[in-house]
Amino acid sequence: MTRKQKAEEITTILEELYPETPIPLDHSDPYTLLVAVLLSAQCTDKRVNTVTPHLFNLADNPHDMAEVPVEDIKQIIRPCGLSPRKSKAISELSQILIDKHDSEVPQSFEDLEALPGVGHKTASVVMSQAFGVPAFPVDTHIHRLAIRWGLTNGKNVVQTEKDLKKLFPKEKWNRLHLQIIFFGREYCPARGHKMKDCPICSKYGVKSRM
HSE toward the beta carbon, residue 31, CA cutoff 13 A: 22
DSSP conformation letters of 109-163 = HHHHHTSTT--HHHHHHHHHHHH--------HHHHHHHHHTTS---SSHHHHHHH
Of the candidates 6, 86, 139, 163, the residue annotated as catalytic is: 139
| SS3 state of residue 31 | helix
Of the candidates 26, 121, 172, 207, the residue annotated as catalytic is: 121
Q: What is the distance between the alpha carbons of residues 101 and 105, in angstroms, rounded to a whole number?
A: 7
Q: What is the distance between the alpha carbons of residues 138 and 8, in angstroms, rounded to a whole number?
A: 19
Task: Verify whether residue 163 is a known catalytic residue.
Answer: no
User: Taking the C-alpha atoms of 174, 50, 140 and 22 in order, what is their torsion angle to the nearest 10 degrees?
Assistant: -20
CA-based nearest residue to 85, from 143, 54, 37, 41: 41
Task: Verify whether residue 139 is a known catalytic residue.
Answer: yes
Q: What is the distance between the alpha carbons of residues 66 and 81, in angstroms, rounded to a whole number?
A: 21
CB atoms within 10 A of CB 152: 22
| SS3 state of residue 7 | helix
Catalytic positions, please?
121, 139
